[in-house]
Structure 1
Amino acid sequence: MNLRAGMESFFNTGIYGITAEKVSNGRDNIEVVREMLEGGIKFIQYREKEKDALSRYEECLILRDMVKQAGGVFIIDDFIDLAIAVNADGVHIGQADLPVHVVRKMLGSDKLIGLSTHSAEELERANELKKYIDYIGVGPIHATPTKKDAVPVGIDYLSYAAKNAQMPFVAIGGIKEHNIDEVISAGAKTVAVVSDVVGAENIKRKVEKLREKMFSGIH
């Protein structure tokens, strides 16, 4: 399918930004997202499941405007109602969330939908549903502190996705500066680096180092 407006930001830096306030070195999401945007990240996912609905709403109103002013794309993880309420650019959903065709009907045709996948079977199903989906998540590649119960899928599934995904994908899960090379070598063009970015003392410099690895020509 044709990529909806805004997907160019998916590839803007190669780094897919995700909030994770608990591992953000004492900083709030507003400060962290501002630094991610200053570092050049243009695709931001808001993922905060433990806050109350009002706090998420008020925070997302601010973040949506910040990302919009920076020319980026603002995605909300899981909470479709919140995405609609703050007029986000789309949502990222999991395998146990509402079916993608229902989400597409709720959001309309001009919003983005990302879907997490964890196996070849889930990827092939996503391929069958590609008229509803803009991109998929592939992972978790390694164990991750932001999703402690998630079972790592390893590099093999990432390599499979690189060969078989019929839409853009983002590699995610336990990816850091020290192991990003293997993820890139396996075929990832866009990578979610969460704790290593939001917890960095200098987020802008961390993003620069990651980009140097991503665009060094090793893939």
Structure 2
Amino acid sequence: MKDYGLYIVTDSNILDGRDFYECIEDALRGGVKTIQLREKYATGAEFLQKAIKLRKLTKKYNAMFIVNDRVDIAMISNADGIHVGQSDIPVSYVKSIVGNDMVVGVSVSNVEEAKTAKLNGADYIGVGAMFNTTTKSDAKSVSIEELKNIRKKVGIPIVVIGGIQLDNIASLIACDVQGYAVISAILGKDNIHDECIKWIHKIKTPSTGGRSLMELI
């Protein structure tokens, strides 16, 4: 299954005035494999500008670039994929537009939503919120047991999200997931680059043959 690794979801507000692109590049230099552009308060023009610049940055570091919700901007910026929620454009419609040119991710919180997402063509699912989170107040809570059930029932990559911290990630690593989506726990740190390396060392992605990515950087 495709490995999404350490997966950063953007939020300019958390950066507290720091340069957006410098912070994202710090994360990419630290080994982040996937960047999702999700700027809730950006205008369409601002969102597009960020998408075009992040597409260039992610290519520089051979990382995946995912756009949240905006299919049009994902296509204009030549993104690798698009991510939609349960209340956004249905994944079947997204797939009818982008075909196999982009991966499509869908947010889910239970087995039935996960099964439906896969049936409708999702390439991966974002499962959460796994723990309490302040960045998405309307997120439904997902138990570890439900995550395990989703893993058993749905054979596509899982990216977990929601309140994930270094001190609670171990329970998720044991559930055979393919990505760990993080926002404030990394973007809120003073040294984003070093923080990413700590996370990757903790994750020890299976594709490294038993070695942590820390050993390969």
TM-score (norm 2): 0.88
Question: 2: CA distance between counterparts of 1:204 and 1:118?
Answer: 30
Paired residue for 2:56? 65
Is the aligned partner of 1:102 residue 2:93?
yes
Mark the CA change 1:127 to 1:86 in structure 2 (over 3 Å): closer, same or farther: closer
Is the aligned partner of 1:201 residue 2:187?
no
Is the aligned partner of 1:211 residue 2:174?
no
Q: Which of 28, 40, 43 in structure 1 is aligned with 2:31?
A: 40
Paired residue for 2:125? 136
Paired residue for 1:29? 20
Give structure 1 stretches of 5+ with no counterpart: none
Give the share of equivalent positions with the same residue, in percent.
36
Q: CA deviation at 1:151?
A: 2.4
Cα deviation per residue 1:156-195 (whole Å; 9 max; x = unaligned)? 2212122222100101000011211122123334211211
Mark the CA change 1:187 to 1:42 in structure 2 (over 3 Å): closer, same or farther: closer
Q: CA deviation at 1:114?
A: 0.5
Task: Tell me which moved more, 53-62 or 177-186.
Answer: 177-186
Paired residue for 1:155? 144
Q: CA deviation at 1:93?
A: 0.5
Q: Letter of the aligned partner of 1:207 in structure 2?
A: C
Question: 2: CA distance between counterparts of 1:210 and 1:149?
Answer: 26
Task: Tell me which moved more, 144-153 or 112-121.
Answer: 144-153
Is the aligned partner of 1:55 residue 2:55?
no
What are the within-5 Å matches in structure 2 for residues 171-182 of structure 1? 171-182=160-171
Q: Which of 158, 163, 182 in structure 2 is aligned with 1:169?
A: 158
For the 8 Å contact 2:91–2:117, the answer to whether it is kept is no
For the 8 Å contact 2:128–2:139, the answer to whether it is kept is no
Paired residue for 1:188? 177
Question: 2: CA distance between counterparts of 1:160 and 1:90?
Answer: 26
Is the aligned partner of 1:17 residue 2:8?
yes
Task: Tell me which moved more, 120-129 or 137-146.
Answer: 120-129
Q: Letter of the aligned partner of 1:55 in structure 2?
A: E
Paired residue for 2:134? 145
Give structure 2 stretches of 5+ with no counterpart: 211-217
Q: CA deviation at 1:77?
A: 0.5
Q: CA deviation at 1:155?
A: 1.6
Q: CA deviation at 1:145?
A: 1.4
Question: 2: CA distance between counterparts of 1:165 and 1:90?
Answer: 20
TM-score (norm 1): 0.87
Aligned length: 206
For the 8 Å contact 1:158–1:188, the answer to whether it is kept is no
For the 8 Å contact 1:25–1:198, the answer to whether it is kept is no
Task: Tell me which moved more, 208-217 or 55-64.
Answer: 208-217
Mark the CA change 1:29 to 1:164 in structure 2 (over 3 Å): closer, same or farther: farther
Question: 2: CA distance between counterparts of 1:82 and 1:127?
Answer: 24
